[in-house]
Amino acid sequence: MRVLFLGSPGRFSARALRGCLDAGYEVCEFWYGHRTRDRAWRADRRLGWFNPGWSVAAALQRSRIPAVPVPPLRTAPQLGRRAAELEADLLVSAEFPYVVPATMLDQFPGRAVNLHPALLPDYRGPNPVLGMLHHEQVDRCGGVTLHRMTPELDAGPIIDRRHAPWNPRGFRHWEADLGRAAYELTRDSLPLYARGGIQPCPQQPVADVYFRGLDAEALRIDGRRTAQRAKYLLDSIGSYLALQAHAAGRSWKVARFLDIVADRPLGSPARIGPTRIELDVADARIAVQRWLPGTSKIRQWQTFRLFAGLAP
């Protein structure tokens, strides 16, 4: 069977794509957003030199699959004609930045599927990972759902799911668990569904399931947070995003929770050092690590080293 794959140059897409190939599917083209930054492809290719199983570029090169940059599908009706010309049997989406319009879905009746990094129906929308982390719902809703695509975003019948609770080793290890779940779903569940061996289940209605994102205030470390909450936010979301701490009348980018400062009482002036900040939160005085000029590079290297050493 032939697959038209919609994705991005990232680790989640890479594992979903690899699952399709290991299932024996022929991927005729790989479509990705035309505004994808070159550095995303560079990072993906670099990872592919050391661990091809986690790289989109490595999979495309090995299987000689054309990579095609595309604009938002709703604005480009010619892409529907292109999809028809490819004579693909399945449309598979994983981490694709654009909505697939109903006109294209009609070309793949019951054969257009998406991999969503949450256990639907919870956390529909474009940023489920951030939502689950912020609401401390990863153990309940963490995982990947393979579902049929419908005109309503992330609302199609569920084909199969894989649960991936929080990994105590940290965010990047949990990200790897999500990638492994995506691989299993495309390698095992997708072929079974395509053969008629799985009947999709309609999603149960749930209130307030669509998550779009968070504003800066929701991710701010200040006097409204307890020390426990500040530590959680920095240990989870702060392990891949720069959060903001408010101290000494301004906001500072911070990277990591350091400790509770027991020898200085609440109400003492904030201390701004070259590498750390001491500030008051609701119930304690805490120390956090500042986001320094080299922090992004260090984290990129740590992420690369982790995924380069993972099993395929």
Query: What string of pLDDT tens digits covers the 312 residues of the chain?
Result: 999 999 999 999 999 999 999 999 999 999 999 999 999 999 999 999 999 999 999 999 999 999 999 999 999 999 999 999 999 999 999 999 999 999 999 999 999 999 999 999 999 988 899 999 999 999 999 999 999 999 999 999 999 999 999 999 999 999 999 999 999 999 999 999 999 999 999 998 765 567 777 787 888 999 999 999 999 999 999 988 889 999 888 899 999 999 999 888 788 889 999 999 999 999 999 999 999 999 999 999 999 999 999 986
Runs of H (alpha helix) within 71-223: 78-86, 102-105, 128-135, 138-141, 171-184, 190-194
Q: What are phi and psi of 179, to 5 degrees?
A: -60, -40
- What does the alpha-carbon distance between residue 18 and residue 180 come to, in Å, rounded to a whole number? 10
Q: Which residue in the block uniquely carries the two structure tokens 């400062």?
A: 261
Alpha carbon 92 to chain centroid, angstroms? 16
Q: Is the peptide bond before 121 cis (omega within 30 degrees of 0)?
A: yes
For the domain made up of 2-211, give the CATH fold.
Rossmann fold (3.40.50)
Question: pTM for the complete prediction?
Answer: 0.94
**CA 208 to centroid of chain Cα atoms:** 20
Residue with tokens 């505004």: 35
Asked if 113 contacts 103 with a C-beta cutoff of 8 angstroms, the reply is: no
Amino acid occupying residue 249: G
> What is the architecture of the domain spanning 216-299?
Roll (3.10)
The domain spans of the chain are: 2-211, 216-299
Instruction: Give the orientation angle of helix 295-308 with respect to helix 38-50, to 10 degrees.
Output: 40
Cα 62 to chain centroid distance, Å, stands at 25
Q: Is the dihedral of CA 149, 153, 156, 158 positive or negative?
A: positive
Q: What's the rounded Cα separation, in Å, for the pair 135 and 133?
A: 6
Which of 9, 7, 305, 12 lies closest to 179, judged by CA? 12
Compute CA distances 289 → 213, 217, 219, 239, whole Å: 25, 19, 16, 12
End-to-end CA gap in the chain: 24
